[in-house]
Amino acid sequence: MLHAGTPAIFRLIPCFLLILLLLPISNAQAGISTPSVALQVIALCNTCQVLILGETHQKTESPVLFIDLVTQLITKGERVLVGLEVSATQQDVLDAVMTGQRSPEGITHPIIDSPSFQNLLVELSELYCAHGQFITIAAIDARNRGRVRDAAMARHIRTHLATGQFDRIVVLVGNLHTIRKMHWTEDAGSNAPFLAERLVDAGVQVTSVMQDLDTKCGGLKHPTFYTVRDAKGLEAVRRQLGTIKHHPAMDMRQAADSVVVWQCREETVDAEAGR
């Protein structure tokens, strides 16, 4: 793994190759701005050790917010470990992407891999080239997909925490992995906790943030930050849990700390005016 603090001379020449890699990557995220939302998320995570940002895979918006979060933290001088849903067995491949020695395509599962995820990798590699003393990129997922994934991701994160090398760990995973406390139905077939709950149970200070995307429009969406104390925030969390067998009595305020709702442009204006 390429750790924060890798001497600059080992980054400069490979980073030059990023210019070539950037050319074929479409800038699908152009026009989306999230710095103010990123600041709100960071404020919520003021004392947290691990910030878990959930997403719906293969969507354009999520990588933009994630990059803004990481950028804000390293700009403050924090040493940040970025955790991605890439199998830990692919760490060498991820390192090669970060130093411009490999293209970003196909390094993770097809459910996650997409032009937006590849764009995320390119932008992370740019951050590593410019601020390598503050950022480490880690593959934290399990070797195989399945029920053991959350346990493996939690184990990898705790191992990185134990090194004492990082001020913050920032993780991008699917929305369900952000659930802090899950209350399953009896017929769910599992009572296994997700990533955030496993870390909380281990005594880790975690801030979990879901993302909820409006599907009614195909164009660019704009973000609004809600805590779970907001009615609209709770409504968004319920939508995200609608695909799994959660108990009807489950307290949605325990599922996550906050949610970023991505709305169509005109709805965002209306929502902000009505807050």
CA distances from 237 to 108, 118, 129, 175 (A): 27, 27, 36, 10
- Establish if 4 belongs to a structural domain: no
By DSSP bridging, strand 258-264 and strand 135-141 are unpaired
Residue 81 belongs to what H/E stretch?
strand 80-87
- Establish if 30 belongs to a structural domain: no
- Establish if 145 belongs to a structural domain: yes
Give the CATH number, domain containing residue 109.
3.40.50
- Establish if 3 belongs to a structural domain: no
Q: What is the pLDDT of residue 19?
A: 43
Query: Which is nearest to 253 in space by CA: 219, 210, 222?
Result: 210
User: What mean pLDDT is reported for the chain?
Assistant: 84
pLDDT band at 216 (very low <50, low <70, confident <90, very high): confident
- Establish if 2 belongs to a structural domain: no
Mean pLDDT of 146-164: 92
pLDDT band at 129 (very low <50, low <70, confident <90, very high): very high
What pTM does this model have? 0.87
Q: What is the pLDDT of residue 169?
A: 98
Number of domains in the chain: 1
CA distance 182 to 255: 7
Q: What is the pLDDT of residue 97?
A: 95
Alpha helices in 45-190 (DSSP H): 61-75, 91-98, 115-131, 149-162
